[in-house]
Amino acid sequence: MNRYAIKVEYHGAPFSGWQRQADHPSVQGAIEDALAKLEPRAHTIAAAGRTDAGVHATGQVAQCDMQKDWDPFRLSEALNYHLKPLPIAITECALADPDWHARFSATERRYFFRLLMRRAPAVHDAGLVWQVSHDLDDAAMREAASYLIGRHDFTTFRSVSCQSNSPVKSLDELRIERVDGRSGPELHFHVRARSFLHNQVRSFVGTLERVGAGAWDPIDVKHALDARSRPACGPVSPPQGLYLAHVTYPDDPFA
């Protein structure tokens, strides 16, 4: 078997998430079905992260094992052909070491979140941003976000269905920038860590939005973190603004 690393971009709206499900469309299932068109057998691929329903990716990374000695470019082209017309694209493909693993070899994951602030419905960015009708105080949100940086027990910001063995994680970056988007003013959240809990990023963004709207004070985010209790979390943001943007490996197969 030859192991290949593939970089995957997808629009999450039509899918129930990354992970294959018996009765619902998934990104994993679509790629495995495409692989079966190239080598007719059951395929099981693994990814750097399991994104939820409606979440997008610009830099998801997965692995697949092929019996044939494929040229990486030809493999990516063949997969893209069989993935049409689904909103999934293999943007890079590389031969990887047999012991390289898309999930367990990763040392960092980066997520990106888009929050659009305007009253009129988004047209060109519909389904690609979380839209709120009011302006937000991004300075207050940055102050609140500073309390989340570092190593903490993030029980407050994890889904009750999270399967991680521990709620203790290190958050390396939670940066908020205001930009002029094509549909109006946006806040962009850049979030970086080795690994994340289920719904952690969306819990951060939804809670910080409450700070920006003036419903919470920045210090309330620290109190919520210290509570180590899921009910202390603010609302969880919807999925459509979230993107898995980049995965880092010490021996990057795409380098």
Whole-number pLDDT of residue 163: 85
Q: Which two tokens stand for residue 93?
A: 């493909």
Which of the 8 DSSP states describes residue 208? H
88 and 30 Cβ atoms separated by less than 8 Å: yes
Whole-number pLDDT of residue 52: 95
SS (H, E, C) 99-151: CCCCCCCCCEEEEEEEEEECCCCCCCCCCCCEEECCCCCHHHHHHHHHCCCEE
210 and 204 Cβ atoms separated by less than 8 Å: no
Q: What is the pTM of this model?
A: 0.96
Distance of CA 85 to the CA centre of its chain: 22
Whole-number pLDDT of residue 22: 87
Q: Which two tokens stand for residue 215?
A: 């419903």
90 and 80 Cβ atoms separated by less than 8 Å: yes
Inter-CA distances, 164 with 32, 131, 158, 200, Å: 25, 30, 9, 12
CA distance linking residue 171 with residue 173, whole number of Å:
6
Bridge partners (DSSP) listed for residue 60 = 8
Q: What is the pLDDT along the chain (255 residues), one digit of tens a residue?
A: 999 999 999 999 999 999 999 899 999 999 999 999 999 999 999 999 999 999 999 999 999 999 999 999 999 999 999 999 999 999 999 999 999 999 999 999 999 999 999 999 999 999 999 999 999 999 999 999 999 999 999 999 999 989 899 999 999 999 999 999 999 999 999 999 999 999 999 999 999 999 999 999 999 999 999 999 999 999 999 999 999 999 999 999 999
Residue boundaries of the structural domains of the chain = 2-105, 108-246
| Residues with catalytic function | 52
Classify domain 2-105 by CATH architecture.
2-Layer Sandwich (3.30)
Q: Which two tokens stand for residue 219?
A: 């210090």
Fold of 108-246: Alpha-Beta Plaits (3.30.70)
Q: Which residues touch 95 (CB under 8 Å, ≥6 apart)?
A: 2, 3, 4, 5, 72, 253
Whole-number pLDDT of residue 43: 97
- Tell me if domain 2-105 and domain 108-246 are identical in fold: yes
Whole-number pLDDT of residue 180: 95
35 and 222 Cβ atoms separated by less than 8 Å: no
Distance of CA 214 to the CA centre of its chain: 27
CA distance linking residue 41 with residue 66, whole number of Å:
10
Whole-number pLDDT of residue 254: 96
Whole-number pLDDT of residue 30: 98
